[in-house]
Amino acid sequence: VAKGYLPGLEKTLKDSDINAQNSSSETLLHVAAANGHLPIMEYLISKGAKIDVKDKKGRTPLHRAAERGHGEAVKLLLRCGAYMYSLDMEGKTPLHLSAQNNHSHILKMLLKEEAGSLAKMLLEAGAFIDGKDERGQTGLSYAVSQGSENTAKVLLEAGARVDSNMVESAFNSNHPSIFKILLEHSKDLPPDIMESALFRAVQGNLHDNVAALIDRGADINAYNATLYTPLLLACETGKAESAQVLMEKGANFGIKTPGSDTALHLAVQAGAASIANLLLCKGMEVNLVNQAGETPLHVAALHNKGALVGPLVNAGAKINAVTKEFATPLHIASQRGNTDVAQQLLHHNANANVKDKQAKSPLHFAAERGDKTMVELLLSANADPNAQDKEKKTPLHAAAGRRHLSIVKALLAKKGRLGAKDMDGCTPMHYAAIKGNTEMVKILLTSGKYKNIDDRNVWRKTPLHIAAEYGHSHLINLLLSSGAAINALDSSKETPLHCACKAGH
C-alpha cells in the first residue's frame, strides 16, 4: 500500500483485513492517503474501508492527506463523505494541518467544502433561502459571484431562485464552471433567463453550455435585442464550436438579420471558413442577397476574405453577380484595394470589363485609388484601358485627375488613349493641367508625340488655357517650349493671357 502497488494488494488483501489497524492504529486507508495513492484508496473504499477511522494521534485519512498536500486524495475523501471537522489529539482539523504545512490548494478546497456545509446547516435550521441583504443580494448571488460551487449547489438543491443578474454574474466571474452548476442544479429557469444565457454562452464560445441550455429547453431560434438569433451571433463573431453545436441541434439557418444578411454572409464577413464550409455542407443557398443586393461573395470581396472565394464559387456562387448598383465582387475588390480577393476572382474567370450603374469598370476604381498592383493585375486580365464611364471618362482620365503618375504610365503602356475625351471634351492632359502636374503632362506629350498639345474641350480651351487660368507657371513654360499655341482662342474668344489676367495671375 505504501508503495502504491495495486496488483499486489488485490492478490493479498482479505475482506477481514480491510479495516485492520497496525501498532499506530493506522488502517490501510491512512497509509494510502498519506502517500496520495489514489487507485489504492479507490480500491479500499470500494471494498468497504471506513473513511473516518482515527489513528493513535486521533487523525483520520483526511488529516493525513491534508497534512501531506495530496489534493486529489482530499477530493476523493470529501466526495466519499469524510468528516472535515474531525479533531485529532491536539484539537486540529484537516484544515489546520493544511494551513500549518502551507498547502494553500488544500486550504482552498476545504474552505469551499466548509462553505457548502455551513450553508446546508443554516438551511436545515430554517434560514430563508431567498432572503436579500441591503444590497439586494441573496446567498446564491454571493456564491455565484465568488465561484463557490459547493455552496451554490447546496442552495440550488434547496430551491434557491435564479435571476438574470446571477446568470450575468456567472458569465462575468473567473469561474467558468459556475454557470454549469446553475444550469444543472436549478429546478426551474424562466425562458427569458435561458435565452439570455444562451446568447452569453455563444458570445463566450462556451459550446458545452450552449448544448446544455438547448437540451434544457432554451429556444434555439430566440431573438436578442438586435434581432439576431444565437446562430447569427455565432456566425458574425466567428464562434465556430458554438455555431456547430447550434446547427447540430437544429438551428434554423434560413433566418436573416434585419439587414437581410444570412448566416453565410456573416460567417464570410468574419472570415470564419469552418462555419462557412459547415453552412455550405448543410445546403445553404450561396447566392442569397442582403438589402444592398450583395451575395456572400460580394461580402468576401468587401472584407478581403480571399480564402473563402474558392469554396463559395465551388458551391455555386455567381462570380459576376451584381448588387443594386450593378457592382460585381471584382468591382468591390478593386474599389477597396483588396488584391488577394481580386486575384482569386480573376482566377475563377471574373469579367474584368463588366460595368456598374455608373458604367465604371473595376479598372476605373483601381485607377482612381492609384492602386498600381490592382491596375497591373486587371490589365494582365485584359481589362480595357480605354473603357468609358457614364461621363465618358477613361481610367486614364481618373489617374491624371488624381496625380497618379505610375498609373498613367501603366495605362499608356497598355495603349491607353491620351486623346480620349470625356463628355466635357476634356482629355487626360486637361485634367493633368488643372493639377499643374508638369511631369505627368510631359509624359502625356511625349507619349502622343506632341500631337495633342492643343486639344480643346467643349469650351474650346487648350491645356495652356487651363494652366494659365490656374496659375501653374512651370507648366506654362513646359507647354510653350513644347509648341503650344500661345494665342489660341476659346469659345469666348479668350487667349491663355486673358485667362491668366482674369484669374489675377
Average pLDDT for 380-399:
97
pLDDT at 122 exceeding the cut of 60 = no
| Better-scored residue on pLDDT, 282 or 183 | 282
Tell whether the model's pLDDT for residue 119 goes beyond 70: no
**Poorest-pLDDT segment among 6-10, 47-51, 440-444:** 6-10
Sign, CA torsion 232/236/237/240: positive
Question: What mean pLDDT is predicted for residues 197-213?
Answer: 91
Q: Residue 169 has what pLDDT?
A: 80
Cα(14)–Cα(204) distance, integer angstroms: 53
Confidence of residue 111 (pLDDT cuts 50, 70, 90): low
Task: Evaluate whether 313 touches 280 at the Cβ level (below 8 Å).
Answer: no
- For residues 452, 458, 462, 465, the Cα torsion angle rounded to the nearest 10 degrees is -170
Once rounded to an integer, what is the mean pLDDT over residues 483-500?
96
Q: Residue 316: which region, alpha, beta or left (left: phi > 0; alpha: psi -120 to 50)?
A: left
pLDDT digits (tens, 9 = 90+) for 62-75: 999 989 999 899 98
Domains identified in the chain and CATH numbers: 6-115 (1.25.40.20), 151-252 (1.25.40.20), 256-261+278-351 (1.25.40.20), 355-417 (1.25.40.20), 421-505 (1.25.40.20)
Taking the C-alpha atoms of residue 276 and residue 308, their distance in angstroms, rounded to an integer, is: 8
> Residue 147: what pLDDT?
78
pLDDT of residue 140 exceeding 90: no
Which three three-digit cell numbers place residue 194? Answer: 435561458
User: 150, 175 in Cβ contact below 8 A?
Assistant: no
| Residue 405 identity | L
* Burial (Cβ within 10 Å: 0-12, 13-18, ≥19) of residue 311: middle
Q: What separation in angstroms does the CA of 486 have from each of 203, 372, 463?
A: 71, 36, 11
Residue 155 predicted with pLDDT over 70: yes
pLDDT in tens, 310-357: 999 999 999 999 999 999 999 999 999 999 999 999 999 999 999 999
Q: Strand, coil or helix: what is 197?
A: helix
Angle value at C-alpha 402, between 396 and 404, nearest 5 degrees: 70
pTM: 0.71
Nearest CA among 184, 186, 193 for reference residue 215: 184
- Residues 6+ away with beta carbon under 8 Å from 308: 268, 271, 273, 276, 296, 300
Name the pLDDT band for 115 (thresholds 50, 70, 90). Answer: low
Is the pLDDT score of 371 beyond 80?
yes
Look over the chain and give the mean of its residue pLDDT values, rounded to a whole number.
Answer: 91
Confidence at 121, pLDDT banded by 50, 70, 90: low
**Does residue 395 register a pLDDT over 70?**
yes
CA atoms within 13 Å, Cβ hemisphere of 98: 21
Read off φ and ψ for residue 358, nearest 5 degrees: -95, 10
Q: Give the whole-angstrom CA distance, residue 261 versus residue 2.
A: 66
* Residue 211, SS3 per DSSP: helix
| Cell numbers standing for residue 133 | 441583504
- DSSP class of residue 129? T
